[in-house]
């Protein structure tokens, strides 16, 4: 006997097919990223780091023009990552593009150094004072290894290592504010202030070491909560005094 609509479980054959789930179709494979992208990014990052070291040490001299092919030969790579790294340095103000020739190393003047120091002090000193009022004394111990790293680099006269360690200390200090934009802007200004002076003067080992020791002195003042000392040390260290802003390694 054929089932009727009154029978339990009856299903009208006219709709049975429509209610069956559609067969699954294979999804198209996800696009595969070219393997060369990470490698190219890595090469560009390595070239950028090497160029920054060369700028900090004076290997690339202010006022001199360097071609991408010549630099590529020096670093054992193709000109493309060199050009990309140089464009990054152009955006940071460390070099300038010279049409049909390459890139000229920019050198700041005494006025440039003083202005950068003034802006950095206006930005960082109030932030450091706020931290001095709110951060527990024991938190400053976390920055001691970074301060020691600047002393280690300065004691052997390694300008490139000191420049990197110096940025690391200030970055960690301002990170405690929780303000990411402040950290980014301050580090950009810091890099610009580390550009060698146009006249070619660079700090010697003694000057680098004196600057590095100021990091530890600032931490001591922060631990003790001495706001007057914190403001004085931070302002002095950042070179807001024109006599302290010439070499630009803080």
Q: Looking at the predicted structure, is the pLDDT value of residue 35 above 50?
A: no
Topology at the third CATH level for domain 110-244: 1.20.120
Structure tokens belonging to residue 102: 């390459």
More confident residue, 17 or 222: 222
Q: What is the mean pLDDT of residues 79-100?
A: 91
pLDDT (mean) for 172-192: 94
Question: Is 72 within 8 Å of 79 (Cβ atoms)?
Answer: yes
CA 8 to chain centre: 73
Task: Choose the most confident range, by mean pLDDT, from 25-39, 144-158, 184-198.
Answer: 144-158
Residue labelled with tokens 């049409």: 99
**Domain 39-105 carries which CATH code?**
1.10.10.10
Contact 207, 197 (CB under 8 A): no
Domain boundaries defined on the chain: 39-105, 110-244
Helix axes 180-193, 159-175, angle to 10 degrees: 160
Q: How far apart are CA 97 and CA 130, in angstroms?
A: 40
Going by C-alpha positions, the residue among 128, 129, 123, 109 that lies closest to residue 245 is 109
User: Rounded mean pLDDT of 116-120?
Assistant: 94
Q: Across residues 18-22, what is the average pLDDT?
A: 52
């Amino acid at each position: 006997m054929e089932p009727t609509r009154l029978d339990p479980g009856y299903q009208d054959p006219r709709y049975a097919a429509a209610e069956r789930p559609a067969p699954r179709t294979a999804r198209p494979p996800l696009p595969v990223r070219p393997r060369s992208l990470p490698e190219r990014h890595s090469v560009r990052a390595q070239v950028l780091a090497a160029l920054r070291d060369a700028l900090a040490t004076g290997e690339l001299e202010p006022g001199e023009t360097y071609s991408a092919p010549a630099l590529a030969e020096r670093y054992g790579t193709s000109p493309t990552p060199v050009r990309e790294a140089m464009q990054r340095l152009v955006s940071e103000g460390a070099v300038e593009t010279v049409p049909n020739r390459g890139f000229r190393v920019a050198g700041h003047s005494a006025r440039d150094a003083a202005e950068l120091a003034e802006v950095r002090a206006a930005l960082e000193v109030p932030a450091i004072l706020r931290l001095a009022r709110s951060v527990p004394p024991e938190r400053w111990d976390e920055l001691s290894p970074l301060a020691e790293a600047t002393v280690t680099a300065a004691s052997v006269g390694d300008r490139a290592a000191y420049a990197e360690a110096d940025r690391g200390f200030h970055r960690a200090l301002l990170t405690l504010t929780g303000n990411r934009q402040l950290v980014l802007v301050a580090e950009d200004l810091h890099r610009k202030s580390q550009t060698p002076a146009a006249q070619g003067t660079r700090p010697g080992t003694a000057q680098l070491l004196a600057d590095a020791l100021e990091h530890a002195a600032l931490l001591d003042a922060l631990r003790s909560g001495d706001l007057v000392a914190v403001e004085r040390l931070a302002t002095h260290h950042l070179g807001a005094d024109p006599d302290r802003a010439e070499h630009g390694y803080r």
